[in-house]
Structure 1
Amino acid sequence: MIKHSALYEKLQKQYLQNWTICSEQFPVSGKRFSYFEKRIWEMKFDRFLHVIKKEANNEHPDKNRLLQQVQSFFREALNYSNEHLHFIFSDDMLCATKSFIQKAWEFDSNLGNEELFQALRNVWIMLGLQSFFGKKIQITPSFLAYSLLYPYTDNLIDDASISKIEKLEFSERFAARLSGKQVHAQSVLEEKIYDLVKMIEGEYERQEFPQVYESLLAIHEAQTQSLTLVNNKELISDTECMKICIEKGASSVIADGYLVLGDLSAKQFHFLFEYGAYLQILDDLQDARQDYLDDIKTCFSSNLPYGDLDKMLCKTYSLGKKFHQTLQDLYPNEIAFQGLIKRSFGLLFIASVFENKDDFSSEFIQKIEKHAPFRFSFLQEHQKELKPFKDLMMQKMEEYRDKEFVKI
C-alpha cells in the first residue's frame, strides 16, 4: 500500500500500543437484564423457534414468511432499530446476496455450501461498505472474484496432500500473478485462482488503479506471514502474534475498500484499517479453542494453557470502545452504522463466552450473563433447535444453483 504506507505504519504502531494499554478489568457500564426481562426475551425467542420448526417440517416452506420472522426477531428480541435492519435486510442487500450465490455457482458448480458461507462473510462486509460509502449495492466482478479467492487459496493451503514446499512455491506464483506477471498454473484449482485475478483485472485496469493490486498483494503477504503461526515450535511473542493478526485483518478490509471505491482517502483508509483489524481480533477470540487444538498460535490460543481468557476478553472489549470512538470521530453523522456496529459487537462478545464457556472462569461467565438478554441455560437448551434454520438457509441457497435469478 504505497500511497498510505506512512499512515499504515503509524496506525499499526498506535493499534499495538492501544492493545497493550487496554484495561483488563470487567467493564462496569453497560445494560443489565433482570430475570423478568430475560424471560420476556426468551418467550419471543421461543415463538421464533416455533416458526422455524414449523417451516422446516413443511414440504414447501414459506421462505418469505421465514425472512419476515427473522427480521421481527432482530427488531423485537434483539432490539435492532429499523435503520439497523436496513443495513442487513434491505431488498438491495438480499438481491445482491442471492446474485452472489448464483454467480459463484456459475463460476464453479462444485463449490460447497460451507465454502460459500465463508465467501459470504466477506461479501456482506463489502456490501456494507458500499452502503456506508453511498455506492450502489451490487455484486461486481471484483466482489465475486475477491470473495472467492480465499476459499480457494485456503483449500489449497489446508490440503494435507500438498507438501509445505509446494504450498510455498504456489505462494510465490500467486504473488507474481497478483503483480501482473503471466504465470503457468500447476493445477485446476490454481487455474481457477488466476481466472479470478483476471476477473478483477477486467474491472480495474492496473495502470489506472495500482492501489487495488497493492492492496491485494498486501493481504496475500499478510496471509502468507500468518502461516508462521501454524505448527511453529519457535517462541513467538504475543506482540508479534498481535501484529500479524492486525496486518491480516486490516489488509483484508482495506482491500475490500479499494475494490469498492478504486482509491481511498486517508480518512477512509484509517477507518478500514481499524475496522479490519478489530474484526480479525474478534475472529481470533471466537476461534481460540479451535486454534489451540489446531496448533495455531494467536494471542488468545497461546494463553489457554496458562489460564482463562477473562482478561483477554476485557482487553478486546476496551479496544472495541476505542474503535467505536474512532468511528464517531471520523464519521460523526453515521449514527445508524455506529449503532449497528456497537450492538453487533456486543452480541459477539456474549456469543464468544457462551460458545466457549470452558475458556472463561465461572465468575466471569456469571458477570457477563447479566448483560445478556437470555439466560445461558436457556440458550443451551435451545441450541440444537436452531439447526432447522441452517437447513432452511442451505435449501434456499441450493435454489439458485441452476435457477435464473429473479429480483425480489
Structure 2
Amino acid sequence: MRDIHCLEDYYELFRMKWWNSSSNFKQCLDRVTPAEKKKRQKKLNGMLNKLFKHLDSVPVNDEDIDKWKQKGRRIIGQAIKKDDYFNIGDVDNRLRDNFIESTKTFIKTAREFDKNLSIADIGQAMRNVWIINMIQSLLGEEIKFTRAIYGYSMLYPYTDNYLDSPEVSIEDKKEFNERFYKRLRGENIEPVNPNEEKVYKLVEDIESIFGRKRYPKVYESLYTIHEGQIKSLTQQDKVTIPYERDILGISIEKGGASVLVDGYLVNGELTSKNIEFCVGYGFLLQVADDLQDVKEDFKNNHITIMSQLAGKYNLDPLANKLINFTIGLLEEYEADEGRDISNLKNLIKNNCVFLILFSMILSKEYFSEEYIRIQEEFLPFSMEYIENLKFNLGNKFKEIKEKNNWTDERLMDVLDKVIE
C-alpha cells in the first residue's frame, strides 16, 4: 500500500504516472474493417430512423400514449442490448437495467427542475451521472439515482459553462466563485441572479443526503474541486508559454477533484485505493475533455495541455500518452473482496479510448495524416460518418420540429415521454 497522506501526494503520483506513460503507439481496441464499419453504420442508421419515426408518431389522444411509451422503451432497450460498438451489452442484465433506470430518473428530475435545459446541457450533466454509476458498480454498490448525485451532476451546466464562457469577464467569474465558495461552506448566501439561485438549490440537494458533520469528506472534496476551478481561470486570462504555468498540475487537480466528489457521493467514504482511482480517472477525463475542446480552447486562448501545443506540434505523442495512461489506470485497478470486474473495467477502458479517438477525428488538423489514418482503423465507424453524425442528428431533430411545428420545449416534452 502506498504511503499517501494527502491529496497533494495523489496529484504528485499522477504527475509521475503521466510523465512515465509511453508516448509510443499502443491500442487496446480491435481493428474494424471498412466492410464492418459500413455494416455498423447501416445498423445505427436503422436504429436512429426507427427512434425518430417513433418520436414523430406521438399520439394526440391520451388513451394511446401508454402504448406509444412502451414501444419507445422497447426500441431503446433493444438498441442497448444489441449494441456491438461500445459493449454495453457485455455487462449483466441487472446492472444494465439499473443503469437505464438511473438515467431515466435523472432526465425526468432535471426537466422538472428547469424546462429550459437544452439536450446538450442534460447530456453534459448526465455524463457525470454515468461516471458515478460506473464507480458505484466498481465499488460493489447497487447502481441507483440519489438527490446528491443529481445535485452535483447538475452543477456542471450551471457552473462550468458559466466559467468557460468567453462572454463572461474574468472579474465576474471570480466574484461568482467567491459567493459559490461561501455557499459550499454552508453560509446563507443570497443569489444575485437566477443562475446562482439554481446553483444554490443544487447544493441543497447534496446537503439533503450528506450531512456536513457526518460526512465531512464530501464537502472537503467539493471545496477541492472549487479551488481547482479557481486555479483553472488562470488558463483563460492570458496566453502562456509551456512551463510558465503548471498546466499539468492544474489539470490533475481540477479533473481529479471532480471525480473524487463522484466517489464520495457513492456512500460518503473512500479507501486510499479508491481515492487514487478516482483522482486518476478524473485526470484522464479532464485531458480527454481538453482534446475534445481543443479547437474552441485554441480559438479563445484558453491554455490546456492540448491547446498549448496545438498548431505548433502534432498532438500524436500526447494522444498516445493519454491512451496509454488510460489503459494502465484501468488494468491496475482491482476490486475489493476478489470480485471479478473485468467486463466492467473493459467497458470503461474501451469507452474512454473511444472518446479520445472520436475527439481526435473531430480535431484531426492537429494530428499528422499518417497518425489519423492508423487510428481510423480502430474506429467503429468511418471518419466521414463520425464527422457528420452530430450534424445529421441535428437535422433530424430540426425536420421533426418543422414538420410538426414544435418548439424546442415541445420536442423536449416528447423526449420526456419516451423515457418516463
- Tell me the TM-score normalized by structure 1: 0.85
Deviation at 1:341, TM superposition (A): 1.5
What secondary structure does 1:137 align onto? coil
Q: Which moved more, 1:12-21 or 1:80-89?
A: 80-89
| 1:151 equivalent in structure 2 | 157
Distance 1:379 1:196, change over 3 A: closer
Distance 1:6 1:38, change over 3 A: same
| 1:398 equivalent in structure 2 | 413
Kept in 1, the 8 Å contact 2:86–2:347? The answer is no
| 1:67 equivalent in structure 2 | 76
Distance 1:70 1:355, change over 3 A: farther
| 2:63 equivalent in structure 1 | none
Q: Residues of 2 paired with 1:346 and 1:238: CA distance? A: 30
Which residue type is aligned with residue 19 of structure 1? W
- 1:33 maps onto 2:28 in alignment: no
| 1:10 equivalent in structure 2 | 9
Q: Residues of 2 paired with 1:361 and 1:64: CA distance? A: 43
Which of these residues, 333, 340, 346, is aligned with residue 340 of structure 2?
333
| 2:109 equivalent in structure 1 | 103
Q: Which moved more, 1:249-258 or 1:372-381?
A: 372-381
Q: Residues of 2 paired with 1:400 and 1:386: CA distance? A: 14
| 1:204 equivalent in structure 2 | 210
Q: Residues of 2 paired with 1:238 and 1:73: CA distance? A: 49
> Percent identity of the aligned residues?
31
Q: How far does the alpha carbon of each residue in 1:182-206 deviate from its partner, in whole angstroms, 9 at most, with x for none?
A: 3233223223322222232222111
Kept in 1, the 8 Å contact 2:326–2:353? The answer is no
Q: How far does the alpha carbon of each residue in 1:190-225 deviate from its partner, in whole angstroms, 9 at most, with x for none?
A: 233222222322221111111111011011111111
| 1:123 equivalent in structure 2 | 129
| 1:177 equivalent in structure 2 | 183
Distance 1:72 1:258, change over 3 A: closer
- 1:288 maps onto 2:294 in alignment: yes
Which residue type is aligned with residue 398 of structure 1? D
- 1:372 maps onto 2:379 in alignment: yes
Deviation at 1:66, TM superposition (A): 3.0
Q: Which moved more, 1:374-383 or 1:150-159?
A: 374-383
Which residue type is aligned with residue 120 of structure 1? M
Which of these residues, 336, 341, 359, is aligned with residue 352 of structure 1?
359
Which of these residues, 310, 313, 316, is aligned with residue 319 of structure 2?
313
Q: How far does the alpha carbon of each residue in 1:168-187 deviate from its partner, in whole angstroms, 9 at most, with x for none?
A: 12211211221222323322
Deviation at 1:93, TM superposition (A): 2.2
- 1:138 maps onto 2:147 in alignment: no
Which residue type is aligned with residue 83 of structure 2? F
Kept in 1, the 8 Å contact 2:21–2:321? The answer is yes
Q: Residues of 1 paired with 2:165 and 2:296: CA distance? A: 18
Q: Residues of 2 paired with 1:149 and 1:378: CA distance? A: 32
Q: Residues of 1 paired with 2:104 and 2:113: CA distance? A: 14
Which residue type is aligned with residue 101 of structure 2? C
RMSD: 3.3
Kept in 2, the 8 Å contact 1:26–1:314? The answer is yes
Q: How far does the alpha carbon of each residue in 1:83-137 deviate from its partner, in whole angstroms, 9 at most, with x for none?
A: 33758842x2222222222222333333333322221111121222223323343
What secondary structure does 1:138 align onto? coil
Q: What does residue range 183-222 of structure 1 map to in structure 2 within 5 Å?
A: 183-222=189-228
| 2:263 equivalent in structure 1 | 257
Q: Residues of 1 paired with 2:107 and 2:300: CA distance? A: 30
Deviation at 1:37, TM superposition (A): 4.1
Q: Which moved more, 1:218-227 or 1:323-332?
A: 323-332
Kept in 2, the 8 Å contact 1:226–1:248? The answer is yes
| 2:230 equivalent in structure 1 | 224
Q: Which moved more, 1:341-350 or 1:327-336?
A: 327-336
Kept in 1, the 8 Å contact 2:27–2:323? The answer is no
Distance 1:368 1:157, change over 3 A: closer
**Unaligned 5+ residue runs, structure 2?**
60-67, 401-407
Q: Residues of 2 paired with 1:79 and 1:404: CA distance? A: 23
Q: Residues of 1 paired with 2:73 and 2:235: CA distance? A: 44
Q: What stretches of structure 1 move > 6 A for 4+ residues in a row?
A: 329-332, 388-392
